[in-house]
Chains A and B, each alone.
Chain A
Amino acid sequence: MSIWRRHGRDMLLVAPFFALFGLFGVWPVLRSAWLSFTDYHATDDPAWVGLRNYAELAADERFWTALGNTAVYMASVSAIAVVLGLMLALSFGSNSRLHQWVRVAFFLPAVAGGVGAISAWKWLANSEAYGLFNSLRTALGLEPARFLGDPQWTLPVLVLVGVWSVLGYNLVIFVAGLRAIPEELYQAARLDGASRWQQLLHITLPNLRPTLVYVTVTGMIASFQVFYEPYLLYGAVDTLGGPLDSALMLVTYLFDRGFRQLDLGLASAAAWVLTTLLFGLTWLHLKLMGRGR
């Protein structure tokens, strides 16, 4: 019996998925890879230019600014959100009513995030004396700060918003990971006289490694792709990068070059640089985490 006769019906059933995946998943990726080697402005057919777009990216000071900002943002958000998320999970991981409410409170931003939440942050960080942050500063006897108009405040504000939006998600994942660790391990450790710190170091963290890897890698990828937070907090009709480009991220840069300046070939090259960096970072992270096993 031929393969077609045996699996024909199954193949027909999964064919729509593969057709859609090929059309909307694989084809755009391949097309963008090709476009990254072309001069393309949407209005005419793409013209092959070889590595020119990549050379232009390498020579663009703004691209490096965006890359630097994104790297600092990614490192800060993923590190703080992982450490804080784990601490919160260890502190509020039980089934008590209070702990459940605390987890709900921290998870709310993951549900209620988006444009509305960023608008609220914009209001809180308002540079006027009546913005919430500045009201607190004034109460402490400090001068109001220009949170949204001073380059030295840009990354701290963005990191704060970024951590706030992912902390609840990390907390929930860590709680699930902690509950999967067999209680017998802790009982045995306690019988052997292990302190809480020793239990954390020798039982919790090693057993939580897969969860840690997952949360860190997905957090890094998400924060590397950050777009709408800097775009909404610092972007305007006349500028996308905020004060002195301090809020310019890689995806914002890509959007600017691709859709504002209609330089779609160069934007595709930027997208491939972003993808390659993400692959590299993920591989490196998995390698480092795997080495300790």
Chain B
Amino acid sequence: MIYNAAVIRRTRLLQLSLCLGLALANGQALAARLVIWMVGDDKTPQLMQPAVAAFRAAHPEVAVEVRDVPWADAMTKYSAALASRRGPDLVTGSTSYAIALGAKGALVDLNEAAPDLARQLERHANPGALRAIRGSDGRLYGAPFDMHVQLQYYRSDLLQAAPADWDSFITAARRQRFAQQSGNTSWLGFYPYLRQAGGAVYDASCQRAVVDSPEAVRALSFYARLYRELQAPTDGWPDADGGLESGAYGLMQSGTWLLSRMDMVHKGLVGRWAAAALPAGPTGKRTAVLGGTVLAITRFSPNRGLALDFMRTVYQPEVTRRMAEAALAYGGMWLPSGRQDQIASLPLPHREALLAQLADAEGPPPCPAWMRQDYILTRAVQRVVLAGGDAQAELRRAATVMNRALEAQR
């Protein structure tokens, strides 16, 4: 068969036009796609499905893609996405990481972009969670998404009640061995005691480290007793709930995630355990560390308006409730820190203890320098707990190093 040159040229032109048309159509389809990255495992995106369904009902032309990002990979993936300026529209991430990203201008300030949403969060979010994500300049780098706090778990057949204050804590831990499941000998484990004693890491303006206050020294001296005197395990993550079941421990502290799964994982503990808020410190406060994640919009998102609409959808009470139920359905637990009014209706054991602790919880220091300085506090804590250092001297040294770095940054 013979083709002449004109026919070939026309055919090629047609093919080129077709390719361009397809590419443009694809480009238009991509423009109406909202991409959300959630830290967690492969089940985590399931909890977002009620929000996706509600959002799609209002925006049928927009496709929503929810992907899970393992915790171990989150920081590398997010950094790569930020560097390429082509990342997801919305992300969930730890509060400290969000503060660090927000301070570098990577996240949208909700106060400025969506004052209505910011006001709603002000009314309904957990106050501690909201404080943890607000910069010292008042900017709101995201919305509190989910939260967890520490609780006391104890063997109800061995202890009549959980210790209510520091003194009774020591007494109980002398009788029944004690273990802390996470944050042993690090800032994370020490932080509740610091807050319960009335101390803080930075002043309100984040300009000065105040970890050498008398309150902090008192807290660290008490904290060190748990390990030096009561021989609590110092591993990063000891098998504390297994120990509670075997009877190796009568008392432990761990996160709220155990509430929904304790009976499921430890059959031998059914009917033999209870939970309570942390023991009160010298100030009467029972403050726990408030961990969890934040939902934020990346600065480079080309769909900022849609992303804000999606956020508004997430925080509708009905949607939030269905999300929490979706998490329970797959064996997880999602405590909505942006709508904590929805938690009271969740079918969870020891809900009163949970609600009491959520009312007295604080996130990590909401200061941009914290991610760069947390190891300094951890080192001071470890020098006291593991190497027998003096609490006052070590905290003074930590404060000096932190303040020197803060001054250098100004």
Contact = CB atoms under 8 A, between A and B. Distances in A.
Interface of A: 41-44, 62, 126-130, 146, 148-151, 234-245, 258-264
Contacts, number: 105
Nearest to A256: B375
Interface stretch (B22-30, B312-320, B377-385): B377-385
B79 A262 contact: yes
Contacts of A150: 234, 386
Given A128-B248, A238-B188, A261-B371, A244 B379 contact: yes
Contacts of A239: 186-188, 236, 374-375, 378
A271 B202 CA distance: 32
B100 interface: yes
Nearest to B188: A238
B203 interface: no
A128 B233 contact: yes
B378 A128 contact: no
15 contacts: A42-B82, A127-B235, A127-B238, A128-B243, A130-B246, A149-B236, A238-B183, A241-B375, A243-B185, A244-B383, A258-B79, A260-B371, A262-B79, A262-B100, A264-B83
A236 to B, nearest CB: 4
A130 to B, nearest CB: 8
Interface in B165-215: 182-188
Nearest to B187: A238
Contacts of B248: 128-130
B76 interface: yes
Contact of A42 (B79, B233, B382): B79
Given A43-B104, A238-B374, A239-B378, A127 B386 contact: no
Interface in B128-169: none
A237 B233 contact: no
Given A128-B243, A238-B378, A239-B378, A41 B235 contact: no
B286 interface: no
Given A126-B238, A243-B382, A149 B233 contact: yes
Given A128-B248, A244-B379, A258-B79, A148 B372 contact: no
A148 B82 CA distance: 35
Nearest to B191: A238
B371 A244 contact: no
B123 to A, nearest CB: 30
Q: How large is the interface on B (under 10, 10 to 19, 20 to 34, 35 or more residues)?
A: 35 or more
Contacts of A129: 248
Interface string B101-124: 100111000000000000000000
Interface string B227-242: 0000001111111000
Interface string B285-319: 00000000000000100000000000000000000
B94 interface: yes
Contacts of B375: 62, 239-241, 245
> Interface on chain A toward B: helix, strand, loop, or mixed SS?
loop
B101 A43 contact: yes
B5 interface: no
A264 B104 CA distance: 13
Contacts of B382: 243-244
A239 B188 CA distance: 9
A233 to B, nearest CB: 8
Nearest to B372: A261
A152 B371 CA distance: 27
Given A149-B236, A236-B236, A259-B79, A43 B105 contact: yes
Given A44-B104, A241-B375, A261-B371, A149 B188 contact: no
A10 B238 CA distance: 60
B75 interface: yes
Given A127-B233, A146-B233, A149-B233, A43 B188 contact: no
Contact of A264 (B79, B100, B182, B299): B79
B57 interface: no
Contacts of B237: 236
B6 interface: no
A44 B188 CA distance: 31
A236 B182 CA distance: 8
Contact of B235 (A146, A241, A244): A146
B1 interface: no
B8 interface: no
